[in-house]
Structures are given as structure tokens and as C-alpha cells.
Amino acid sequence: MSNHALASQSARTDFMRAAGSRKGILSWILSTDHKRIGILYMIAMGIFFAVGVLFGLLIRLELIAPGKTIMEAQTYNSVFTLHGIIMIFLFIIPGLPAVFGNFFLPILIGARDVSFPRLNLLSWWLFVAGGLMAIVSVFLPGGPADTGWTFYIPYSVRTSTNVIPALLAAFTLGFSSILTGINFVTTVHRLRAPGMTWFRMPLFIWSLYATGWVQVLATPIVGITLLLVVVERALGVGIFDPALGGDPILYQHLFWIYSHPAVYIMILPAMGLISEVIPVFARRTIFGYSFIAFSSIAIALLGSLVWAHHMFTVGMSDTAQWIFSLLTFLVSIPSAIKVFNWVSTLYKGSIELEPPMLFALAFIFQFSIGGFTGLMQGALALNMHLHDTSFIVAHFHYVMFGGTGFGIFAAMHYWFPKMFGKMYNKARANVSFILIFIGFNVLYFPLFIAGYMGMPRRYYDYLPEFQSLHFISTIGSWILVLGLIMMVANLLMGLRNGSRASSNPWGGTTLEWTIQSPPTVENFETIPVVATGPYDYSRYERGEHA
């Protein structure tokens, strides 16, 4: 059945209203439908994000002036630790794969669900359990962990705060991520519709596929490492603590052997999403499809060889240092290919600045700043100067928030009409985008300057010469949060009383736009037969508008 015929089918009961064997909340939290699981992740993740943003706001408020502002130094250490743990393990890592990957991966390849639906539900329960463990650790006697999200040794085996619950929370969340990776890799291999060959797959799928392998292969390493810290703390066995004959540098190697590839678990799906949005709103067939597809795989492979660039100051041999420096420069090439191809797709395009496109363009701008400042840190001499300064904080927020965060917002505005069958108010969405974009850059850019001038990260207090930069940065955080609140309020209003959305409000050409909004439980009445590549805008390029 051709794609067009599918679009004209009359609306059937959608997955949210379909009557299953269970009723009410049980029909959600015990559902194995990939779409419902995607939305369950969205709700849980949204709550954790709000908590993470609150902690971020408190950090900025404390740093508005030198000395004590709103909290004691000990509390400050716990607040930035929790901010890091929540934003990394409970927002950025699950963000695109668990929410939008779960909802759209099967639909984009022409399938009815993922390979292991019950395992998929289990991954969500592990996610919630891990999140609750992290939150509970705040209220247990001893107080929340104050080690930073990296749990560096020896402090994490000596501090009296609740490190073990935090470690076990991260361990449990790791399992949720591994199970999601197993599901996605298997689904891409096994459940593609007839004709959906590898080089006809949407690029979001290539990015989820590469991410899935990193989730499966790298996450167990940090899982074991965190368990070893629990054993060392609980049983006093010398593994990492030098006082017990252990090696703290070994801990850093094991930690970053996962955590650097983990940054690609965070950014690759967002890159895939940008490759979905750019052709639709530029009305152009994507430039260099196979280069973008392969660059996702190359990033996953090369990204597992650069971990020690986080450790240039620990006293490694010169040989080891220049090798990891060189590899760090190399891994930037496949990322640059993506940016080049996105910009080439925009060239001569008929660009429509709809809300998803605004967030996607901001992604390209901010990810490029994040990328370039990453390259700077690959240079050994500069790294010695910038290591552990607020320059690093600015760098990873430009990549993780300015990149993946904006990617999540772009995905939300792009797929909202398909997921919920309703439109949000575009004018309000654009205003919220402007506030978020300005707030973000006013918040983080000054931290590059302060860090270059020597402002250390994770410090509760600072020298007066850094005050003006911190003051500007804190104002930025208020503008940003105002924009975030407006964005969420606008989407919730759209959910409540937005106008009905058609099956293809943006003029997309991938499979999700051929089925009704919201989709039915089965996604497709009949499994589609795919005959073309994903982003065919040749009619527009020939000037033959639809």
C-alpha cells in the first residue's frame, strides 16, 4: 500500500484511548506499548528535569556574589552533585532515546513495536527506581552525596555523606540504559518493514543504533566500577583508595572509559533528531545521507578511544598524553561532517522558521561552540590551563544543554502533534524559544571567560574579579528558567485545548507522517512497503511544490 493511501485512512481509536485489559493508571504503568512507555519516560524525566533545573537555579543564586548568599558550603557541594547526577543520568542520557526513541523508532522503520516490549517496560521501572533512590538519598541521615557526579576517589570513599545510595541509583539507571540499548539494536536488525533497507532508514535510527551499541558495551564498565566503590566503602577492601593500597587513577580510567562514550549516548540521538528536522523545514533532501549515517558509527567507535583526555593532569606519560590528544582531535571529524552536511542542506533551501527549526538551528550554533571548545581542550598545553575551571562547565553545558537539551526541545515541538494529535500555540513557542536561547547564552558564555581567567569549577566562593561575570551569568539563569516555564506551560495548554493536528502538519516525508495523529496501538493497519529513501524533497528542488 503506497504511503499516500495510508495518510487518507479515517481516524481509528488512538493508542491513548484504546481500551486494553487494564484500566486507569495500571493501563499505563503496566503497558508494554512502546508509545505509552515513551510517554511514561517523558513524565518521569520531566519531573526529574524540573528538580535538576531548580538545583541549577540555586547554584547560580549562590554564586551571584562572593561569600555566602543562600546556603552553606557543604550544602552547595551536595546541590551541584545532585544537579549533575539528575541532569546526566535522569534527563540527558534517557532524554531522546527513551522518550522519542521508544515512541518513534518502531514507527520510523515500519514496525508495530520494539523487539522486547516487556523488557522495555522493565527498563522504565528500573529508571523510576533509580531516580527514586537518588532522591531518597537526599533525605537519609548523613545527607546527600557531596562528591560531584564523578564520585572521584579517595573523597567518595571517605566522605560521610550518602554516597552508597547515590552509587546504587546510578548503577540501577545504568541497567535501564543497557536494556534500552539491547532493545533498539535488536529492533533495527529484526523489525524493519519490507524495503526498509539500511540506507533507507531515517538518520535518527542510525544515531539510535550507534547509541544502542555504546549503551550495551560501555555502561557495564561504569556499573562494575561503581559497585567496586560500594564494596570498598562497605567492606574496606583496597581497590581505589591509596590508604588501602588501591589506585585512585585506576578509578578515573574505569570511570571515563564509560563516561566519555556516555557523552555520545547523550549527543548522538540529538544529532539524529537534527538530521530529521533540517530537511523538513529547509524542504531539501539531506546533503550527504551516507556520510551522516556513517559518521554516527564513527563517533561511537572513535569515541571509545579518547577517555583519558579527562585526565591530562593526573601525571600520565607524555606518550599517552599526545596519543589521547591526537585521538581527541580525530573524534571531532565525524561531528564536523554532520555540522557541514546540515549547513549544506540549508544552503538554497526554502527555510521555514517553525518552532522545531528554531531549536534545531540553535542546536547547530551552540553545539559548534561546544565542539570548538572541546577541540581546545584536546590541546595539551591549553588543557593544563583550563582543566577543572568554569571553562569546562561552560563547554559541557554548550554540548549537553545547548546541544542535547535543545535537541530534546526540538523533538518535543516537532513530534508533539504526532504524539498527542494536537497543536500548540506557535507564537508562544517562538517567544519561549527566544527567552531560552538568550538566557542560555547569557548564563553559560561568561563562564568561558571566567574559566579562562582562572575561575575554578565547583568552588563555593571566589575572588572579587569574577563577580561581574557571575552576576551576568545568574541573570541569564533567570531568563532561561522563565523561557523554560513558558515553553512547558504552552505545551501543556496545547495538550489540554490545542487545535486538532493533521497527520502531517509539517510536510514531512518519513513514515510517522503517513499515519494518523495520535497513532493507533498497532501503528500501521498494514505494514508499509518502503520504496524510497527518507527525505525526498526533489519535487521542491525542481520547483514543483505539492
User: Where on the chain is the footprint of Cu ion (CB under 5 A)?
Assistant: 260
Smallest CA-to-CA distance from 101 within 171, 52, 41, 45 is with 41
**Minimum Å distance from CB 329 to Cu ion?**
13
**Minimum Å distance from CB 299 to Cu ion?**
12
If the CB atoms of residues 267 and 282 are measured against Cu ion, the closer one turns out to be: 267
What is the rounded CA–CA span in Å between residue 395 and residue 235? 38
**Minimum Å distance from CB 257 to Cu ion?**
11
**Minimum Å distance from CB 365 to Cu ion?**
22
Smallest CA-to-CA distance from 514 within 8, 7, 11 is with 7
| C-alpha cell belonging to residue 66 | 562572593
Alpha-carbon distances of 475 from 50, 60, 349, 362, rounded to whole Å: 19, 9, 36, 20
**Minimum Å distance from CB 309 to Cu ion?**
5
With beta carbons less than 8 A apart as the criterion, state whether 376 and 386 touch.
yes
Sequence-distant (≥ 6) Cβ neighbours of residue 95 within 8 angstroms: 45, 266, 269, 270, 404, 405, 407, 408
- Residue 200 burial (CB count, 10 A): 18
With beta carbons less than 8 A apart as the criterion, state whether 95 and 45 touch.
yes
If the CB atoms of residues 41 and 255 are measured against Cu ion, the closer one turns out to be: 255
Alpha-carbon distances of 204 from 96, 274, 349, rounded to whole Å: 10, 8, 21
- Closest residue to bound Cu ion by CB: 260
What is the rounded CA–CA span in Å between residue 3 and residue 526? 11
Cell 535510527 maps to which residue? 205
If the CB atoms of residues 269 and 355 are measured against Cu ion, the closer one turns out to be: 269
**Minimum Å distance from CB 263 to Cu ion?**
6
If the CB atoms of residues 104 and 264 are measured against Cu ion, the closer one turns out to be: 264
If the CB atoms of residues 303 and 446 are measured against Cu ion, the closer one turns out to be: 303
**Minimum Å distance from CB 368 to Cu ion?**
17
What is the rounded CA–CA span in Å between residue 489 and residue 495? 10
Residues in the chain, total: 546
If the CB atoms of residues 375 and 475 are measured against Cu ion, the closer one turns out to be: 375
| C-alpha cell belonging to residue 215 | 549503551
If the CB atoms of residues 34 and 260 are measured against Cu ion, the closer one turns out to be: 260
If the CB atoms of residues 259 and 474 are measured against Cu ion, the closer one turns out to be: 259
If the CB atoms of residues 157 and 369 are measured against Cu ion, the closer one turns out to be: 369
**Minimum Å distance from CB 331 to Cu ion?**
9
If the CB atoms of residues 63 and 302 are measured against Cu ion, the closer one turns out to be: 302
If the CB atoms of residues 260 and 422 are measured against Cu ion, the closer one turns out to be: 260
**Minimum Å distance from CB 261 to Cu ion?**
9
With beta carbons less than 8 A apart as the criterion, state whether 212 and 261 touch.
no
**Minimum Å distance from CB 493 to Cu ion?**
39
Sequence-distant (≥ 6) Cβ neighbours of residue 325 within 8 angstroms: 309, 312, 378, 379, 380, 383
Alpha-carbon distances of 87 from 91, 212, 405, 414, rounded to whole Å: 5, 20, 10, 22
**Minimum Å distance from CB 83 to Cu ion?**
19
**Minimum Å distance from CB 256 to Cu ion?**
7
- Residue 125 burial (CB count, 10 A): 14
If the CB atoms of residues 89 and 540 are measured against Cu ion, the closer one turns out to be: 89
Sequence-distant (≥ 6) Cβ neighbours of residue 24 within 8 angstroms: none
With beta carbons less than 8 A apart as the criterion, state whether 162 and 230 touch.
no
If the CB atoms of residues 85 and 327 are measured against Cu ion, the closer one turns out to be: 327
**Minimum Å distance from CB 338 to Cu ion?**
18
If the CB atoms of residues 114 and 400 are measured against Cu ion, the closer one turns out to be: 400
Q: Using the CB atoms, write b or e for 240-269: b if 16+ within 10 Å.
A: bbeeeebebbebbbbbbbbbbbbbbbbbbb
**Minimum Å distance from CB 48 to Cu ion?**
23
What is the rounded CA–CA span in Å between residue 87 and residue 67? 26
What is the rounded CA–CA span in Å between residue 541 and residue 243? 68
What is the rounded CA–CA span in Å between residue 28 and residue 517? 19
Residue 355 preceded by cis peptide, ω within 30: no
